[in-house]
Every structure is written in structure tokens, then in C-alpha cells.
Amino acid sequence: MNESISTVPSQGQIISVHRSYRWSIYRRLQELNIPCTCPADGTLRVDIDRATALVLVHSTVRQYLFSRQEALDWLERCWQTQVVCNADR
């Protein structure tokens, strides 16, 4: 995979993904109300203006790029991770 995310001044975040996934990811991001465009140069440009948008973009891209086994391994690691929350103390 040659996917990447880079920042270009005045152009926002540029996500480089395989063209076969680009429109699917674009449509999903539009559903999530995350501004993005697919210019003729083959890139996917995303306006990430808040942390929540970054997490949603990352999650959406990963959904299309991870194999089933990679997704299962990630989910298993999440279930096994123990996080101590001090908010209840």
C-alpha cells in the first residue's frame, strides 16, 4: 500500500489512496459532513479542522485499506487493552 496523508499549505490535508477507494472514501466523508474534494490529479483533499474529523478520516480510510485479518487483529488488541480511568475517583 502506498497510502499517505500529507499537509500542503493552503490546500489542507491530501490523502493519497488507490483510485478504486477514493470515491467510496469521499462519499463516506461527505456523509460525515467532513469537507473534501477529489480533484482531477487523483488525490483526495480533506479539510480537517478539528480532532474529531481527524479520527473520523483515519477510521474511514482504515476501513477501506485494512484487510479483514488486520481489522480483526486491531479489534482484538483494543479488547485486550486495559485503560485506567481516574475520572471516577
Residue ranges covered by each domain of the chain: 4-80
The whole model's pTM is what? Answer: 0.68
Please state, in angstroms and as integers, the Cα–Cα distance from residue 63 to each residue in 32, 40, 57, 60, 88, following that order.
14, 24, 10, 5, 33
The Cα 61–Cα 48 span in angstroms is 14
Tens digits of per-residue pLDDT, 22-36? 999 999 999 999 999
For residues 47 and 28, is the Cβ–Cβ distance under 8 A?
Answer: no
Tens digits of per-residue pLDDT, 11-70? 566 777 778 889 999 999 999 999 998 888 888 888 888 889 888 998 898 888 888 999
Give strand pairing partners of 15: 5, 44
Which residues lie closer than 8 Å to 53 by C-beta, 6 or more apart?
Answer: 34, 46, 47
For residues 3 and 65, is the Cβ–Cβ distance under 8 A?
Answer: yes
